[in-house]
Amino acid sequence: MALSALLATFLCTIVLPVLLFLVAVKLWEVYMIRGRDPSCSAPLPPGSMGLPFIGETLQLILQRRKFLRMKREKYGYIYRTHLFGNPTVRVTGADNVRHILLGEHKLVSVQWPASVRTILGSDTLSNVHGALHKSKKKAIMRAFSRDALENYIPVIREEVRAAVQDWLQREVVLVYPEMLRLMFRIAMRILLGFAPEQIKTDEQQLVEAFQEMIKNLFSLPIDVPFSGLYRGLKARNFIHAKIEENIKKKLQESESKNIDALQQLIDNSRKSGEPFSMQAIKESATELLFGGHETTASTATSLIMFLGLNPEVMDRLRQEIMDKEEQGMHLDNLNIEALEQLKYTGCVIKETLRINPPVPGGFRVALKTFELNGFQIPKGWNVIYSICDTHDVAEIFPNKEEFQPERFMTKLTEDPSSRFQYIPFGGGSRMCVGKEFAKVLLKIFLVEVVMQSNWTLLNGPPTMKTGPTVYPVDNLPTKFTSYVRT
């Protein structure tokens, strides 16, 4: 009798809940698969939908690149999952990605997860469509013209030189946090037109708030106290308050000679004849700040890592700079033309972006049901195209695991047939508007840091994580010493 009671208790407290959970998961899977379009004969991609309602979001957040690699190895280049509250198809490989990127407005449309849209705002460049997207993009592109980039060079050099001199005085430098601060200062000055004294006053609070916002950018869309979305919004509101102060100063100026991206957005708003929206400008400024410093900080950190692990690349990079100096290039008077002559330096940046693209992919939504490589992509499902996985499987790159900048000395990525095998800045009409700005900024960074210092990675090769951009888990502790020419 006692044994029967114990068995019944065991069944009720352990076995039954487990069975009910498994049944719920199976019913969830069946329910989500019913979302396929019966008018299309192609099957859904292989994959799994995870737990009810939350899908596989938690696994992605916790495991990031490990999760993505595991899914790709198990299901191939196109698979289904459920992320951030939506059924999703993840797409890898040049041919598949080409269809997505060139299918903008026909097959797919940009749509970031609800948490991203809530925090960054629905009227930002990455979220708007049609004429509004073209108008905003045109305004921002003026801030990234060749003349504008030329004007930014002294500010970039000033900030990088000051940062390197500071690193040389320290026993240990945590590279990733330092890169975030450096690129944040540069973005605040160049993109948002903040004066150096303004940044100095609020820098620490702004950097911390921005990191809190970014950390919670991809979260479950649940706005309750202490949730990721709640914390992200709180941090964003602090940033908006500081940006609003700067916008009001700009509005008081009847005519500004500033060429920063924020000024371009304000001028565009004035000329459009539409009612001025402070909220829309703040959202656009916050998006610029994210795109203009988070991604470059990630890549600058990876540059320090790869050069620290590959001293022969550092030597060749320095030699190129010194050869150009002998040919008349002056480090104290860098310009766009001189930077363009640093071909190997550019290859070091390209190779870094190949292995560690700062943004792992892009989000779209299917506007209609369509077929991709034999699989059905149902209308309304999210589509994520993967940058990091596409680089991992690209056929044009032999010895993919090795850091070999010289591979880019040829024109291999300029061949139309290999166009979508290398996509660090995305592609199509949504290609990163700040691409040329990033190239100039990173080249100046390399020239300054390489010609002023040597460095040693104190922990060796780090473990890399994505959240939402790529960064080293240990923050890359490094010892910098002065470089003396021989």
Provide the domain limits for residue 333. Answer: 42-482
Q: Report the share of the chain in percent with pLDDT over 90.
A: 47
How open is the CA angle 221-241-468, to the nearest 5 degrees?
A: 40
pLDDT, tens only, 43-86: 999 999 888 878 888 888 777 778 888 899 999 999 999 988 88
Say if 36 falls within a structural domain.
no
pLDDT, tens only, 165-188: 999 999 999 999 999 999 999 998
Structural contact between residues 229 and 115, judged by C-beta atoms closer than 8 angstroms: yes
What is the average per-residue pLDDT within 8-12?
Answer: 62
What would the two tokens of residue 272 be? 């459009």
pTM (2 d.p.): 0.86
- For residue 238, the model assigns a pLDDT of 92
- Residues with Cβ within 8 Å of 123's Cβ and at least 6 positions away in sequence, in order, are 132, 277, 279, 280, 283, 284
186-218: b or e for each residue (b if 16 or more CB lie within 10 Å)?
bbbbbbbbbeeebbeebbeebbebbebbbebbb
Residue 172: strand, helix, or coil:
coil
Looking at the 3D structure of the chain, how many domains does it have?
Answer: 1
Say if 23 falls within a structural domain.
no
- Whether pLDDT at 386 is above 70: yes
Say how far apart CA 467 and CA 167 lie, in whole Å: 25
What would the two tokens of residue 365 be? 């939504």
Say if 47 falls within a structural domain.
yes
Say if 33 falls within a structural domain.
no
- For residue 248, the model assigns a pLDDT of 86
Q: Which amino acid, one-letter code, is at 332?
A: D
- Mean of the per-residue pLDDT values of the chain: 86
Could you give the strand order of the β-sheet that contains 173-174, starting from the edge strand earlier in sequence? Answer: 173-174, 477-482, 453-457
- For residue 23, the model assigns a pLDDT of 53
- Residues with Cβ within 8 Å of 204's Cβ and at least 6 positions away in sequence, in order, are none
pLDDT, tens only, 214-232: 888 888 888 888 888 999 9
Residue 377: strand, helix, or coil:
strand
Task: Classify the C-alpha dihedral 21-24-30-31 as positive or negative.
Answer: negative
Say if 258 falls within a structural domain.
yes
Say if 224 falls within a structural domain.
yes
What is the average per-residue pLDDT within 123-139?
Answer: 77
User: What is the separation, in whole angstroms, between the first and last Cα of the chain?
Assistant: 90
- Whether pLDDT at 274 is above 80: no
Q: Are strands 370-372 and 375-377 parallel, antiparallel or unpaired?
A: antiparallel
Q: How many CB atoms lie within 10 A of CB 238?
A: 17
Say if 83 falls within a structural domain.
yes
Say if 456 falls within a structural domain.
yes
Residue 111: strand, helix, or coil:
coil
Residue 25: Cβ-neighbour burial (10 angstroms; 0-12, 13-18, 19+) = middle
What's 462's domain CATH number?
1.10.630.10
**How far lies 276's CA from each of 37, 128, 266, 326, in Å?**
43, 17, 9, 52
